[in-house]
Copies of this chain bind each other. A is one copy, B any other.
Amino acid sequence: MMRTRVTLADVAAIARVDRAVVSRVVNKDPTLNIRPETRERVLAAIEELGYRPNVAARSLRTSRAHMFGLFIPDFANPVYAEIIKGAEAEAAAQGYVIVTGSATGAGLGEYMDRIGQGRIDGLLLAGAGDDSSLIAQLDQSAIPWLMLNNRSRSVKRYVILDDRRAAALAVEHLVLLGHRRIAHLAGPSRADTAARRSAGYSAAMDDAGLPEGPIVAADYTPAGGAAAMALLLAAPEPPTAVFVANVASAIGAMQAVRTAGLEIPRDVSIVAVHDFELAGYLHPALTTVRMPLAELGRRGVTLLGSLKPDDTVAEVLAGPIELIQRSSTAPPRR
């Protein structure tokens, strides 16, 4: 049952007032002086016709779209799912809606083309690389934008989490359990988060007076983690504990431990960054460091709303970072 679209004019006609009045009633314009009974008529007409403002017309006139863009690498990654949820919640609270795009669909440039001009009031880039041609394009587009969980060397427009501290927390936990040979299964060298987590690892090891164990870099994938872990275990004096920079790698790493005929945590303890629901259901349940990912998304949206064109943003989100101890970490074997 296709209804014909209802406009301000229709409402105005029924309520016997000017379109302007209806508009001001809808927008709760405080400068409007109106008799209660007139307002009632307007409201009744809106109700009767089921009027809803036309977004295109409104945004053409006001040049505000009430929509934010959010670009992520992959929807299937629970880390970004968490960020989206936070961003969406905050956007909803502001009456905004989110138009998502992912690198699996097509590149960022192509996404920007489809977005066009005037469709979004701001853009969040979660986990995108540091591509300078991209940044140039963004600056041309005249909308505020921000990187999440990934900083750019060239431009100060990012909010990140305290990955350093998260890494240190994980390492301290292992140290406290009595481990001394603690290796680091790092992320890919081009990833900014990986670098910060590695730095945290090094600092914490240093603080504990321990020598940095072997560090092996791997992709943020199960396969990458498995390969890297196999390497670590093959060493003449394998580590008794491994700090893994990422859950995806950690899952692969756990598999590699089993493949090597060893047992977690008896032979090797594992702790990884980012908590996620399934972590507690893996076997053994994975000890993780929980970071405020949803809060990161929320903060990004909040900032977008108040960002001035040339503002710089270089924020390390203050938020709870906690160790979720499960069964993959234990004191080393005597």
Using CB atoms and an 8 Å cutoff, list the residues of chain A in contact with chain B: 1-5, 50, 52-60, 63, 65-67, 75-76, 78, 81-82, 84-85, 88-89, 91-92, 95-102, 104-106, 110-111, 113-119, 139-142, 222, 251-252, 254-255, 258, 277-278, 280-283, 309-310
A114 contact set on B, CB distance < 8 A: 66, 92, 95-97
7 nearest A-B residue pairs (beta carbon) = A2-B309, A56-B60, A88-B105, A52-B117, A55-B116, A283-B283, A55-B119
CB distance from A85 to the nearest CB of B (A): 5
A118 touches B277 (CB 8 A): no
CB distance from A107 to the nearest CB of B (A): 10
Given A5-B142, A52-B117, the answer on whether A85 and B102 have CB atoms closer than 8 Å is: yes
A66 contact set on B, CB distance < 8 A: 114, 116
A60 contact set on B, CB distance < 8 A: 54, 56-57, 60
Query: From A104, which residue of chain B is reached at the shortest CB distance?
Result: B85
CA of A250 to CA of B137 in the docked complex: distance in angstroms?
46
CB distance from A196 to the nearest CB of B (A): 24
B54 touches A116 (CB 8 A): yes
B85 touches A117 (CB 8 A): no
Query: From A97, which residue of chain B is reached at the shortest CB distance?
Result: B114
**Contact pick for A99, options B92, B98, B105, B309, CB 8 Å:** B98
